[in-house]
Structure 1
Amino acid sequence: MTRVGRWIGRHLALALGLLVLLYMYIPNFIVALMSFNDASQSRNLYQFQSFTWDNWLNPCAPLGMCESLRVSISIGLLATIVSTIIGTLAAFALVRHRFEGRSTANLMVFLPMATPEIVMGSSLLALFVAAGLGGQLGFWTILVAHIMFCISFVVVTVRSRLSGLDSNLEKAAMDLYANEWQTFWRVTFPLVFPGILAAALLAFSLSFDDFIITNFNAGQTVTFPMFVWGAAQRGVPMQVNVIGTLMFIAALTFVILGEVASRRRARGKVSAR
């Protein structure tokens, strides 16, 4: 094999991976580009007219957009906190304990993930109406609905992390006279925390992005996806691309910081040896 062939063989997988990533991020790049587009007079939202900073300097110019964004962030944070706590406890129960109905519980965890959103949204609406909350649909009913479908994703994510955890590490800690509480906080929790953090980020993104289930249970409350859908009937303001770009940057920052922290811990373990 020639030197060129060996070089291609070594770098082919990397090149293909980079091409796939580039393809996946093309929509994000387009959104970032359009956040600088001065297309207020154009119905073709993805035809670049001229460069402007006005969209970034006045992100709340469209009436009601920042209020809907505040609602979505508030619901997303609350749903993330509650679903992460419940889902993490459920994951520990399913992985670490044997109890009657455990296999059925494992199956039930997957049902909200496999159920079409339109079915879940209409079912939750029927539940709220049957409970006498049909005239009180709004922030709290959206929150309950989001917690309902986020829990399954949290359980699956944390459970996969727990399943790959080496139990010998906890046994070694207890052999060194650590009690169960100390073992959990100093050994188990730091090892499981990346999975919990990943589950929380996934729950927030699912809650912030949801439209179908929210639309069924929102009443008069308008979330950010519902605002975008409503604005699309007249022409989506370019400030929507600003919010999308900021959300992408925030998510990318979390991933990079997590990777940097993980590599620092790995280097610290190697140097300690």
Structure 2
Amino acid sequence: MKRFRFSSFMLVAGLLFIYLPMLILVIYSFNESKLVTVWGGWSIKWYVGLLDNTQLMGSVARSLEIACYTAVAAVALGTLAAFVLTRISQFKGRTLFGGLVTAPLVMPEVITGLSLLLLFVAMAQMIGWPQERGIVTIWIAHTTFCAAYVAVVVSARLRELDLSIEEAAMDLGARPWKVFFLITIPMIAPSLAAGGMMSFALSLDDLVLASFVSGPGSTTLPMEVFSAVRLGVKPEINAVASLILLAVSLVTFLVWFFSRRAEEHRKKAIQQAIEEAAADGWQQPDKRRAAAPV
């Protein structure tokens, strides 16, 4: 009982440590006072004031745009890398390739950002692209960083799959690309959703890489917040952070809901196919007995 109580206490303390600051941030976003540490009553004027703050709203829209692009590209590249690592056994350089894919996970972001900055500068001098650093360079940097997380998540799911399902489909005449898109992809859909959400959150939260590879007019939300808090936290920052928390929570819930529905439909389809196969197996001996001569 004492152990259970201590474990429960540590669980509650850990959850409060994580989520209580978020709750305080949301509450103070409705603060009437300009001083974020002094409560002056309830008000929504800071949310209304966001509409007039074009610089802050522009950085929010820019960060969301980059995060969406990063999630899509990271899921695509990470899934291909995971498939190569887990399915192509005759690939001799698989160990080296796996190390290169997962290198961004352990490499400091400062080193990654500096190396990408030098790469973009060298490319601009050699081939004339990119002419200026902006949304595209930030997107490339975030995709390079987030694809490693997707590869790890998806490869773990691919190793758990039953290969007999894919082999049965190929025995029935399905080509490899058709097996991949119609069988493998639906079975790893939850891991794809998890990797996409992780990439979206990492891109939206990144400050170091964006600081290295951004240019004029491409300030992201973390950069805007970091420059603003040097002079003190503004109430508008609390308001925009609350809106982002709401948006991320809503997207997370929708992804979880539709992934759960897809998983339930898949299980029902498998169960129905098993029942139909069992029914056919019982009917065939009965037909043979009926057709046999007396």
What TM-score results when the alignment is normalised by the length of structure 2?
Answer: 0.78
Amino acid of the structure 1 residue aligned with 2:240: I
- Measure the CA separation in 1 of the matches of 2:233 and 2:158: 43
Give 1:143 shift: 1.6
Name which one, 1 or 2, has greater alpha-carbon Rg: 2
Q: Is the 8 A contact 1:62 1:237 kept in 2?
A: no
- Residue 254 of structure 1 deviates from its aligned partner by 3.4
Task: State the match for 1:222 in structure 2.
Answer: 219
Contact 1:153–1:199 (8 Å) recurs in 2:
yes
| Matched residue, 1:72 | 63
The equivalent of 1:22 in structure 2 is: 16
**Contact (CA 8 Å) 1:142, 1:217: kept in 2 or not?**
yes
Please show how residues 1-273 of structure 1 align to structure 2 within 5 Å: 16-40=10-34, 42=35, 45-98=36-89, 99-131=91-123, 132=125, 136-174=132-170, 178-220=174-216, 221-261=218-258, 263-264=260-261, 269=267
Displacement after TM superposition at 1:106 (Å): 1.0
Change (3 A) 1:158 1:61: same
CA distance in 1, matches of 2:243, 2:31: 16
CA pair 233-23 structure 1, distance change in 2 beyond 3 A: closer
Deviates more, 1:231-240 or 1:214-223: 231-240
CA contact (8 A) 2:70 2:139 kept: yes
- 3-state SS of paired residue (2:215): coil
Aligned counterparts of 2:47 and 2:92: Cα–Cα separation in 1: 56
For the residues of structure 2 that align with 1:128 and 1:186, how far apart are their CA atoms?
38
Q: Whole-Å Cα distance in 1 between the matches of residues 80 and 18 of structure 2? A: 34
Q: Contact 2:193–2:255 (CA<8 Å) still a contact in 1?
A: no
Deviations 1:6-30 (A, max 9, x none): 9x95x87667545433332112111
Higher relative contact order (Cα pairs below 8 Å, separated by 6+ residues): 1
**Contact 1:145/1:213, CA 8 A, preserved across alignment:** yes
Q: How far did residue 64 of structure 1 move?
A: 0.4
Residue identity matched to 2:235: M
- Give the residue type in structure 2 aligned to 1:141: T
The Cα of 1:257 is off from its aligned counterpart by 3.6
Contact 1:60/1:239 (<8 A) preserved: no
- Looking at structure 2, the residues matched to 61 and 225 of structure 1 have their Cα atoms a distance apart, in angstroms, of 19
Deviation at 1:97, TM superposition (A): 0.5
Q: 1:176 to 1:254 in 2, by over 3 A?
A: farther
Structure 1 window deviating more from structure 2 (229-238 vs 200-209): it is 229-238
In structure 1, C-alpha distance between the alignment counterparts of 2:205 and 2:177, rounded to whole Å: 37
Contact 2:31–2:40 (Cα < 8 Å) also in 1: yes
Task: Provide Cα deviations, 1:101-133, integer angstroms capped at 9, x if missing partner.
Answer: 100111112211111111111111111222226
* TM-score, length basis structure 1: 0.84
Question: CA separation in 2, counterparts of 1:134 and 1:254?
Answer: 33
Cα distance in 2 between the residues matched to 1:263 and 1:128: 42
Structure 1 residues 30-61: Cα deviation after superposition (integer angstroms, max 9, x where no partner): 12112111232x2xx34333211112233233
Report the CA distance between 1:96 and its aligned residue: 0.5
Q: Following TM superposition, by how much is the alpha carbon of 1:171 offset from its aligned partner in structure 2, in angstroms?
A: 3.1
TM-align CA RMSD: 2.8
SS of the aligned residue for 2:50 comes to coil
Q: Determine what percentage of the aligned residue pairs are the same residue.
A: 31
Instruction: Count residues in correspondence.
Output: 264
- CA–CA distance in 1 between the matches of 2:60 and 2:84? 35
In structure 2, the CA distance between the partners of 1:207 and 1:264, relative to structure 1 (3 Å rule), is closer
